Structures are given as C-alpha cells and as structure tokens.
Structure 1
Amino acid sequence: MTLALDHLVINTRFDTDAAQTLFAQLGFTLTPRGYHTLGSINHAIVFDGHYLELIGLPVDGATIREEIAASPLGADGLVYRSDDPQHTFDALHAAGFDATPPQHFSRPVTGLGDARFVTVRLKPGPAWGGRVYFCQHLTPQLVFRDEWKAHRNGAYALAALHVVDADRDAYARLGEASGGFRLAFWTRADFDAYFGAFASQVTHRSPRFAAITLRTPRWYDMTKLASAAGLPAAEENGRTLVALPGFDTVLEFIR
C-alpha cells in the first residue's frame, strides 16, 4: 500500500491543559478542545491534509479510555489515511497483520456538528514502538478548516516521525509513506548522536516513537519561542531542536 499520513499523536494523559499551553506558546494554532465519544479529549494542530493531535483524558476521571491510559506519555501515535476502512482491515489481515475491525466514533465541533471517524487499529506489539492505525474522515470539512491552518510560527507540515529500535521490516510490509512525510528509523545510539544533548530528554525504552520533525520557513525563530515557554532549545545546522521534557518528546524544526 501507498501510505498517506493522516496524523501523528502526542499522548498528554492527564496533562492536556499543559500541552495546550506549551504548543500555543510555540506559535501553533490549536483547535478548540474536542470530546470523543470514546472518552478521550483532544486538540489538533492542523496542516494541509494532515495534523498533529494532542490527546488526553479528562482530569476529573469521569471517563477513562484504556488505550490512552495504557500508552506511554509523549509521541505515541502514527495514523495513516484510509478511504475504505473495511478494505484496509481486509488487506491488513491478508498480509498477516493483526488488526481490529473498523470502529466508528465522533466528537462535537461547536456550532458545526459532529466530526465523525472510522479507524482500523493494528494490535499493540513489540514491532511498532507506538500505536499504528488507519483513519477515515467522514466529515473532513469539520477538521481541515482554513482558520486552523494558519500558525504564528509559520509551520506548514509534519515531515518525519523518528522511531527508535522498531522493526523496520514490519513497517516496510505495511507500505511506503508518501506526500513528503517519512519515518526515520534509528538505533538508540544513532538517535543519541543525531539529536545530541537533546536526546537525553527522551527516556530510554525500546522500541519507541521519540521525536517529530516539522517544517516552517521560520525554523530559526523557534528558539526564542521555546525559551519564552521555558523549554530547552537550540539552533544548529539549519534546524532548531526543542525538547518537551514534560512529554518525553523532542521537536525538530526545519525549512
């Protein structure tokens, strides 16, 4: 299969308020808080055709989505687009993958209606390093809205997800990423070398999703924004690195 990115996910657990504040301070426009029928809450950082999702759980404990509660803090989800979830489910099973049947859920969008989705999820296993699934948008007009795509920091795309010590062959069997997004596979030693001192902000567990690369022509401004937010940051070699110590993830900003 040719794999088109739908979104990446950062699991904020019960600290969604803090994540919302940090990403706003970094110059991102966030969608209003969403409340999924599955029990989770979220904010999306929307680009053309894909987005970064901050997902969490209500602090009052009124609902617990076990999938989120059991998942690690930080970069945790890789979601590809599906135009036909049943076909995706059948194709995954035919290829030998263990996947869950299509699941329908929604979240209200104030003043607009319910954003509705169908997902097919690969069952957790040691190959992946995070949650991997496929998503169909039944109401894309309620997610990919122009007013949410303009970001003060100039960010316009997700470029890469950095995956440490995962099964590269398993990912290759899924298909090849397209549309300018890629998976960067690392051993832990190579990840540490590439991200330098910032790698120490990412805990040692294996396999795992560890960092996200975003594109902005104003990548060099991110140091100032991050420093104002109290986050470790450095500009080096045509990129800016920003650590999110509270969310066990590093962000890399490039042109």
Structure 2
Amino acid sequence: MAASTRSAGRGLDHLVLAVKDLEAAAAAYARLGFTVTPRAQHPWGTANHLVQLGGSFLEILGIDRPERIRPAEPGGFSFGAFNRDFLARREGFSMLVLDSRDADADIADFARRGLPTFPRFDFERVARRPDGSERKVAFSLAFTRIGAGDEAGFFTCAQHYPENFWTPDFQRHANTAADIAAVTLVAPDPMALQSRLAAFAGSDRVRVTGHGIAVETAHGSIEAVTPHGARLLYGVNSDPAGGEEPRFAGFRIAVADPSAAERAVSLGGLPAEPIGGRLVVPSGTLFGTALAFEAR
C-alpha cells in the first residue's frame, strides 16, 4: 500500500526499533509469527530488517559499520548518529516515522506550526524481493523534534518508488498482523505534548484518555501516557529509562485473528501475557520495546 492512498494529514508510516544484536532481534520477531525481510544496509553505517504490514512497517535497526556514521552537519540531523547515541544508552523504540507526500511541504508545515526543522535528507538503496530480484527504493526524510533531548526521534518519510518497496509476500504473517494500531510515548506530563504531537501529525483530532492523550492520525494513533499508564498498558517493566524527556514504551499491532497471534507466539516460545484484552510481549523479550497484539 502506498502512502498516497491515505486520507488527509500524516499517518503512522514506520517505527525504528534500535537493537544491539540485529540478527537476534530479527529472529525474535520471526518467532512471534512475523515475516521478516532480508537484511539491508544504509550507506551511513546502519543495517536493518523490516516487517511490512498493511500500510506501515517495523524497521529493526542495528549499527554494523560504526566508522561510517558521521555527526550531524551544523543545523542538520544525522539518523545514524542519533541511533548510535540512543544505543549507547539503551535499546528500544527510538524513532517514530509518519508518512509523507512531500518532505519539503512537511518541513514548511513544521515551521508554520512552531516545530524545529532540519534540511531534507534524501537517500536510496537496493531492496531484495522474495524471488531474489533487486529493485531501487528511494526516500526523502523531514526531521523534527518534540522534546528537548534525544530520547525519542521524529520524522516523516516520502517514498519515491513505493511499487518497488511494498511486497505482498512480505505482508503475510502467521500471526495475521495487519497494521500498527498505536504507538505509546511515556512522559511525566503527557498533556504538555498535545500541541507538538498534533503539529507533527498535522491533526486536530486529540482526545484525553485515562492516563494522558491520544492523537488520531490519518493512519493509527499516537498516545502519550504517564509511567503508570504505560505499566497498565504493557506491564510492570514497560517504563523505559525514566527521566523527564518523552520516550517510547511500546506499540500495538492490529491482527485479523487474535487466536492465530496467540498460537504463533506460543509456537515461538517467547513469553507473553494477557493485559487489558491484549496479548503483550514484554520489553525484556523484544530488546527494550513492548509489543501488544489486539483485534483489528
């Protein structure tokens, strides 16, 4: 599914899940019933495996050539350096990415809405398809900041060859995963993030929840909750690192058949527990990020 088919505003595009052992993390997601793409490399020193869903994806990211990572240019943003520095502190959900039709338009919109902006970043790489063939994929990124620090990153991603990226065989999963339903930020004062998260999403659909707020995007929701709220959603060890800066605790995957998801997780032998009507895989199992399966 290409991002251009979505409704107005920006929606959830993908999540960057930074890990120290890329192959072990990819294997863990496969054991949960996800189809994981072959390893790919970025020219700036990071590598990834993806989990493609109905209109969004997970990016399991590692540092494999640290000597290639460069610091950000003055006034710029370095994806590689951000994730390298994140991994020096902890593993986990490092960056939230929304879809984009035009990265330059996003940068202009961020500026109008009072969010920090950085120069557009363009790159391309080769993607390997299930039949072994290779196709070019290319992207334009628009970075911004929500908090003052680097505990959580935010950017938009415009795809230039979506027909080469999305592959139906990679979007079929034994756990019947359909899409990313929601992502969860933890913050001491979630209400303070309301205007900035809404500006990032280009959305005015914000609702107050029992433990914070939820911004309804064009495709999924962005939640900001208190540490107590994160524990209620994802279990007792779901509040990563602590501190004053917002940080990602976990995400929820919508599945077509919750029973199939439960079977896939059980067959994989990874621990999970029912919490609030969802099946939750704890952050300790998934390299610092909690995952919850819920009915679509």
TM-score (norm 1): 0.88
Q: Are the structure 2 counterparts of residues 122 and 185 from structure 1 closer, same or farther at C-alpha, using a change threshold of 3 Å?
A: same
Q: Given the alignment, which residue of 114, 123, 132 partners 2:136?
A: 114
Match of 2:156 in 1: 134
Q: Which residue identity is paired with 1:109?
A: A
Is the Cα contact below 8 Å between 2:234 and 2:292 reproduced in 1?
no
Using the TM superposition, name which of 217-226 and 206-215 deviates more. Answer: 217-226
Is the Cα contact below 8 Å between 2:119 and 2:142 reproduced in 1?
yes
Is the Cα contact below 8 Å between 1:128 and 1:207 reproduced in 2?
no
Deviations 1:81-116 (A, max 9, x none): 111111211221222221111111122123323211
Does residue 5 (structure 1) correspond to residue 12 (structure 2)? The answer is yes
Is the Cα contact below 8 Å between 2:18 and 2:92 reproduced in 1?
yes
Q: Are the structure 2 counterparts of residues 10 and 161 from structure 1 closer, same or farther at C-alpha, using a change threshold of 3 Å?
A: same
Match of 2:81 in 1: 66
Is the Cα contact below 8 Å between 1:47 and 1:144 reproduced in 2?
no
Question: What is the RMSD computed on CA atoms of the aligned residues?
Answer: 2.3
Does residue 253 (structure 1) correspond to residue 271 (structure 2)? The answer is no
Match of 2:94 in 1: 76
1:149 CA drift (Å): 0.6
Match of 1:19 in 2: 25
Aligned-partner Cα distance in 1 for 2:283–2:119 = 34
1:48 CA drift (Å): 2.2
Does residue 219 (structure 1) correspond to residue 226 (structure 2)? The answer is no
Q: Are the structure 2 counterparts of residues 237 and 122 from structure 1 closer, same or farther at C-alpha, using a change threshold of 3 Å?
A: closer
SS in 1 for 2:182: strand
Aligned-partner Cα distance in 2 for 1:180–1:136 = 15
Q: Which ranges of structure 2 fall in alignment gaps of 5 or more residues?
A: 1-7, 70-79, 204-215
Number of residues paired by the alignment?
252
Using the TM superposition, name which of 207-216 and 240-249 deviates more. Answer: 240-249
TM-score (norm 2): 0.77
Is the Cα contact below 8 Å between 1:57 and 1:63 reproduced in 2?
no
Percent identity over the alignment is 25
Is the Cα contact below 8 Å between 2:237 and 2:283 reproduced in 1?
no
Q: Which ranges of structure 1 fall in alignment gaps of 5 or more residues?
A: none
Deviations 1:159-217 (A, max 9, x none): 000111152221123322434400122111222233343536x4434421101100113
Is the Cα contact below 8 Å between 2:41 and 2:47 reproduced in 1?
yes
